[in-house]
Homo-oligomer: A and B are copies of this chain.
Amino acid sequence: MNKVIELLKSHRSIRKFTSKPIDQEIVEELVRAGQCAATSSFIQACTVIQVTDPALRETLCEAAAHQLYVKDSPVFLVFCADLQRHQMACDMHNSKMRSGFTEQFLTASLDCALFAQNVLIAAESLGLGGCYIGAIRNKIAEVDELLELPDKVYPVFGMCLGYPDQDPEIKPRLPLDVVLKQQRYSAENDRQRISTYDEQVRAYYRSRTGGAKDNSWSEQISDMLVKEARPHMLSYLQSKGFILK
């Protein structure tokens, strides 16, 4: 439809990078592009921590399910939802910040996602590739301590960036009529549509792994959801001043 939409539709997670470094000017330009994303009520609640220190990268890699690209990618960024600055703004005007609302946790987290998506798109527009690292939430309290995050700041996800050294296929997405509804929510026919899609995903994995992996989307989701999902998150977030009410 146009080059921007083609770029968006050609996204794949890149997890293998050449050794070519990314100029710091480029990193800063990417972050500036991130800042230009919409922000809820102008709160600008995203802070990015760029980690270059090899020892720190190594420890973060261990905390993030030993995904080696956390250690090895040319650039590694951690996107933090940050309401500490807002505490500062209240202090500057001698007003008492009312905090701990779930709504504030949500808006700050969404701010980070909009910001980070701009960073990734900007990077991809320059021929870079990357991936989000949700696994930093595996041991989130440890990551928090390593990055010396104060109260009201938590690490939402990491991001690896670099010049791609792989060319994976684009992963097929759910059929449009499963994700786009008219007027009201309806799951009518979705089960059948998902069954059809399941076979597409199975074929994708088969071709990508030479037959070694061949599970469908619903199998993959079902296998994941019989397990607990980072059950430490709520108590960690509450210890940081989030989701208290």
A interface residues (Cβ-Cβ under 8 A, vs B): 1-5, 7-11, 13, 28-29, 31-33, 35-38, 40-44, 46-53, 56, 80, 84-86, 88-90, 92-93, 95-99, 101-104, 106-107, 109-110, 113-114, 116-118, 120-122, 125-126, 131-132, 134, 137, 146-150, 153, 156-157, 170-171, 173-174, 176, 178-187, 190-191, 194-195, 217-231, 233-234, 237, 243, 245
Query: Bound state CA distance, A183 and B78, in angstroms?
Result: 10
Stoichiometry, copies per complex: 2
Contact A179 B35 (CB under 8 A): yes
What would 8 more interface pairs be, CB under 8 Å, given A88-B218, A89-B218?
A: A5-B126, A43-B224, A56-B183, A95-B225, A113-B117, A148-B184, A148-B185, A150-B187
In the assembled complex, how far is the CB of residue A153 from the closest CB belonging to chain B, in whole angstroms?
6
Interchain CB contact under 8 A, B126 and A183: no
Shortest Cβ distance from residue A25 to the other chain B in the assembled complex, whole angstroms: 9
Q: What are 10 A-B pairs with beta-carbon distances under 8 A? A: A3-B4, A4-B125, A8-B118, A8-B121, A10-B36, A41-B224, A80-B185, A85-B174, A89-B222, A93-B219
Partner of A194, one of B92, B146, B149, B182: B92
A98 & B227 in contact (Cβ 8 Å cutoff): yes
A183 x B221 contact (CB < 8 A): no
B52, B93, B106, B234: the one contacting A109 at CB < 8 Å is: B106
Question: A116–B117 Cα gap in the complex (Å)?
Answer: 10
Interface centre among A28, A95, A220, A229 (most CB of B within 10 A): A229
Residues of B within 8 A of A102 (CB): 233-234, 237, 243
